[in-house]
Structure 1
C-alpha cells in the first residue's frame, strides 16, 4: 500500500500545573519565545511550525514524552541552560544515566523532566527507522 504524507502536526496541548512557568521553562531551555496568551493557552512555537499550547491542568498531570530535533550547534547551549537551572539531564529515557548524553544514530541526545514531570528529549539527529 502506497502512503503519501498529507498531514502535518500543527499544535498539541501540554498539560501543566502552572502553564506560564512550564512554557517559560521549556522556551528557556530550547531558546524559543513564549507567545501571548491565546484563550486558555500559553503558546510556544517551535521552529517547524508546531505550537505547544500549555494548558492549566485540573488535577494531577500525567507525564507525556516530547522530543525536539535541535541543531547540533545549539545542543551544548541547551545542556548549559539545563545545568544553570539545576535540572539533571540523562542519556536514557528511564533516567538511569544522569549527567550523560547519548550518541544515537550519529547524533547527540539527552532527556530531562519539565516542572510537571514530562519527559523531554533533545536530539540532533532523527531516529532511524526501518523502511
Structure 2
C-alpha cells in the first residue's frame, strides 16, 4: 500500500468495450469477470502494484502533467491468451484511475497500435 487515500475508478467506454470482447473469449473461464473486478478493486488501494510499470505515451500526444500512463500485467490462464494486460491512466492529485484498454498477449504482443491508443487517451482526457 502507498499510504495514500483510496483512489476512485472511472470506467471508460473503451475499457468496457475491450473487456466485453475479452470476456466472450473461450480462453477464459466464467470467473474471468470476477477476477478482473477484483484486480480493479485492488488498484484502488495499490495503484502501482509490482506487476505494473510506467508506459510511454504514444507518439504525437501530450496530456496534462497530472496524468500518467501505466500497464498492468495479469496472469489469468496458460499460454499467450492467459496473459492479459490492462492499460490505465492515473491522476494522483485527484485520486482517479481510468482504465483504458484490456487485452490479451495473443491480441497484441506489446500493446494496441499507437494510433488507436492515442485516440482512446485523447477521448478520456477531454
Give TM-score, length-normalised by structure 1: 0.33
In our comparison, the structure showing a higher alpha carbon Rg is 1
Instruction: Say which structure is richer in helix.
Output: 2
Structure with more relative contact order (C-alpha pairs < 8 Å, separation 6 or more)? 2
